[in-house]
Amino acid sequence: MATQRTTRQRSFRLSGDVLDLLDSRAAELGESANRVAERLLYEGLRTRSHPLIFFRGGTADDRRPGLTGTRLYVWQVIDTVQSSGGSIEEAAEYFRLSPMQVRACVSYYAEFKDEVDATAEEDREFAARAQAQSQREQEVLG
């Protein structure tokens, strides 16, 4: 579920090397250079404020915030913290993370709660559909 943002015009002067990289990446992805530049700026500015968070592909062909050095999405860590009664230490122990890594997810979540909640819901819906499909396939196979 992509969030629709209002846009404003802004001009930047970029070096030829940067523009070549941008154009090349946009062509690889089959996206406009503007779209790729916007996503990279968006993610880069967030990771400057939250250095243990990075972005990677999610289930809905978009990019989701994850915890650097792990395969965990921020929402998964937050779900575990909430299931542990808010205990950062319990969540850290469960995932074999440091409390600092869990706090990094909590900090990101505090700033971008609605987005993280929306991606969590999308991932849960995707998982439910995949599980239902798997059950239908098993029924067909007997």
- What's the gap between Cα 59 and its chain centre? 10
**Residues 85 and 19 grouped into a single domain:** no
Do 87 and 104 reside in the same domain of the chain?
yes
Question: What pLDDT does residue 1 have?
Answer: 47
Same domain (yes/no): 89, 115? yes
Cα–Cα distance measured from residue 48 to residue 23, given in angstroms and rounded to the nearest whole number:
24
DSSP codes, 64-89? EEEETTSS-BHHHHHHHHHHTTT-HH
- Please count the structural domains in the chain: 2
Query: Does residue 88 sit in the same domain as residue 126?
Result: yes
Residue 110 lies in a domain: yes
- Do 68 and 129 fall into the same domain? yes
Same structural domain, 89 and 29 = no
Q: Give pTM, 2 decimals.
A: 0.81
What gap in Å lies between CA 140 and CA 142, rounded to an integer? 5
Q: Are 88 and 135 members of one domain?
A: yes
The predicted structure's pLDDT at residue 45 = 95
Domain of residue 136: give its range: 52-141
**62 in a structural domain:** yes
Q: Is residue 44 part of a domain?
A: yes
Residues 94 and 78 placed together within one structural domain of the fold: yes
pLDDT score for 7 = 84
- 51, 108 contact by CB (below 8 A): no
Res 29: pLDDT: 86
111 and 122 inside one domain:
yes
Whether residues 68 and 133 share a domain: the answer is yes
Q: Which CATH number goes with the domain that contains 112?
A: 1.10.10
* Residue 8 covered by a domain: no
Looking at the structure, do residues 57 and 19 belong to the same domain, yes or no? no
41 lies in the same domain as 58: no
Tens-level pLDDT at each residue, the chain (142 residues): 455 678 888 888 999 999 999 999 899 989 899 998 998 999 999 999 999 999 987 665 678 999 999 999 999 999 999 999 999 999 999 999 999 999 999 999 999 999 999 999 998 998 899 999 999 999 999 7
pLDDT of residue 2: 53
